[in-house]
Structure formats: C-alpha cells, structure tokens
Amino acid sequence: MFISENPIHINKDANIAPVVVMPGDPMRAKYIAENFLENATLENELRGMYAYTGTYKGVPLTVMAHGMGMPSASIYVFELIHFFNVKKIIRIGTCGAVSPKANIGDLILSKSIYSESNFAYTYSNYVGNVIDTSESLNKTVLKTAEELHQKILYGMTTTMDVFGPYIDYERVLNRIPKEYEILAEEMEAFAISHIANENNVLATTIMTVVDSKYSKVILSPEDRETKLNNMITLALESIIK
C-alpha cells in the first residue's frame, strides 16, 4: 500500500478536532460552522471541500464536507483518520425513504448498511453486503434523541452507487434479500462506516428523509431548514458525549 507522507485532499496544516460531523454539501458545512459552532475557523478549502474547526458547548469539533458518493466520501474519511487521528465521525445527510415506516421529514439512524457495491472488497477484501455502524455511538444518538424529544427511526439503510431518483431503483431494492428491511437509500454511509470499522474508529450516519416512494410531499424551504437543523443539533449533541 502506498500512502503519501501528507494528505493529498486536505490541507496538511489543518487543525482538525478528534470528533467530526460530516455533511455531504460544503455549503452545509459552512452553514453549520456559522450557525452552531463557536469561534469557527476555515481549516480546509482544497477542491472546495470546506472544513471548519471550532467548539460546540466548549468541546473542540470539526465539521467537514465529504462530497457525493462513496469514492469522494472515502477519501476524506481516510485522510481524517490516517493523517489527523480522528476518533469519531457522524455523517449527516438527506435520504429517500423506501419503506412506508419512514415519512417525509423523519430522522433515520443507520444501525447497519446494505450495499451491492464492491467498495469494501476493493478497500480491504471484505466479502459481504452488510456492515454495521458503531453500536456505542448509536446508543448515544438514540439517548440524545430521547433527551431532545426527537423521534428517530433506527434500522437498516442501503447505500447505492447511483442517485436513486435518477434510476428505476426498484430493480436494486428487489435484489436485496427479503429478510432485510430497508428504511431508506443514500450514497455514502457504507464506505464511511467500513473505513471507520477497519481503523477502529466510531462512525454512524443520521439522515433526514426528503423524498419517499410512498409520498408526493415536497418539503418547503422553511420545513427543510427546520428538519435539517434538528438533525444537525442531534449530531452535535451526540458527538460531544
């Protein structure tokens, strides 16, 4: 394995905290830094992938974007762990519900993740379609959600290599073994948690449902911001514990 002496995609002099919240969108990272962190400083803007470090309730914390799809997310997660000694990661993002149990605006916490991707096999010869997220971190998220009086669904999700709404994803869903009850689909969580698991780092994913195969409801900009703020708050409160 060839690993460069310095990170290639993150500023080598970046001040990165041991705990990181990761949205996909760089502008959402900027939004979180400006609206939730104290004394946040821009630590990375290479390739437009913003990372900010500040404090949340006095605890040092970094929020960094990971981009779209497993290849992009995996690069940043690997470099955060390998070069900056990050110990805990919570991905936050949006997802599409594929179960009638998940409604528009609901929060979902991934207990485990199914994927048809070869990502884990390519990364470490892992043979299998399911990986688990961090049980201990999930317990913290669930307890924190209860304290915040936030409803959250907890179960299996799926990571796809393509953006679900742009394909007939029923083909993919129909190939998933029937014993797996999939709540939602997205594009990054499988890679993030697999890399974390391989490096003994705690990682999980919290998502907000923004579309559903069972609903034609579209969140208004105001509702979307409120729901996403709830997810952001839950992630921040959980990761500092």
**At 188, which CATH number?**
3.40.50.1580
Q: Is residue 48 part of a domain?
A: yes
The upper half-sphere exposure of residue 137, i.e. CA atoms within 13 Å in the direction of its Cβ, equals: 30
In a domain, 11, yes or no: no
- Whether 111 and 138 have beta carbons less than 8 Å apart is answered as yes
Give the residue numbers spanning the domain of 88: 19-239
What's the confidence (pLDDT) of residue 28? 94
Report pLDDT digits (tens) over 124-136: 999 999 999 999 9
9 part of a folded domain: no
What single string gives the DSSP state of each residue in 12-50?
TT----SEEEEES-HHHHHHHHHHH-EEEEEEE-GGG--
Average pLDDT over residues 79-100: 97
Determine the pLDDT at residue 227.
82
Instruction: Return the HEC string of 47-107.
Output: HHCCEEEEEECCEEEEEECCCCCHHHHHHHHHHHHHHHCCCEEEEEEEEEECCCCCCCCCE
Give the model confidence (pLDDT) of 190-238 as tens digits.
999 999 999 999 999 999 999 898 988 877 767 777 789 999 999 999 9
Average pLDDT over residues 142-164: 96
- What pLDDT is attached to residue 135? 98
CB 210 within 8 A of CB 219: yes
**The pLDDT value given to residue 152:** 98
Q: Report the alpha-carbon distance of residue 240 to residue 1 in Å, rounded.
A: 33
Q: Which of 25, 161, 168, 211 is catalytic?
A: 211
Confidence of residue 2 (pLDDT cuts 50, 70, 90): low
Q: Respond yes or no: is residue 211 known to be catalytic.
A: yes
The total domain count for the chain is 1
- pLDDT averaged over the chain? 95
Q: CA 95: distance to chain centroid?
A: 10
